Amino acid sequence: MNTQALLYYIGAFIFAGLSVLTFLQLHDSKYQLEAGTFIIISAVIYYGMVALFFKGSRKTFFLANAFLAVLALAGIFFNSLLFGGH
């Protein structure tokens, strides 16, 4: 088994587990939909990054990682402006 296939199997295991936990622990359909959407978006990003790492150029992979890191940091600092605060 090659490394790319192993990473795909690990991702499937992780995201399937997250999906099962979401539907077992959250009882309101609004929260299940929100968590499910997050899991689907995260899975698409994960599989896209794995494919980009193995099939794309390393420079593109690192630029995408840097973009996601900046986006995550911006989400931390601007969370209250985007979603409202206490």
How far, in Å, CA of 82 to CA of 11, rounded? 29
Q: Is residue 85 part of a domain?
A: no
In a domain, 84, yes or no: no
Asked whether residue 86 is domain-assigned, the answer is no
> CA-CA distance, 52 to 49, in Å (whole number)?
5
Q: What pLDDT digit, counting tens, does each position of 10-61 carry?
A: 999 999 999 999 999 998 889 999 999 999 999 999 999 999 999 988 899 9
Picking from 34, 64, 35, 33, the residue whose alpha carbon sits closest to that of residue 47 is: 64
pTM: 0.83
pLDDT at 85: 67
**What is the chain's length?**
86
In a domain? residue 26 = yes
Tally the domains of the chain. Answer: 1
User: Would residue 12 count as lying in a domain?
Assistant: yes
In a domain, 9, yes or no: yes
Q: What is the pLDDT of residue 25?
A: 94
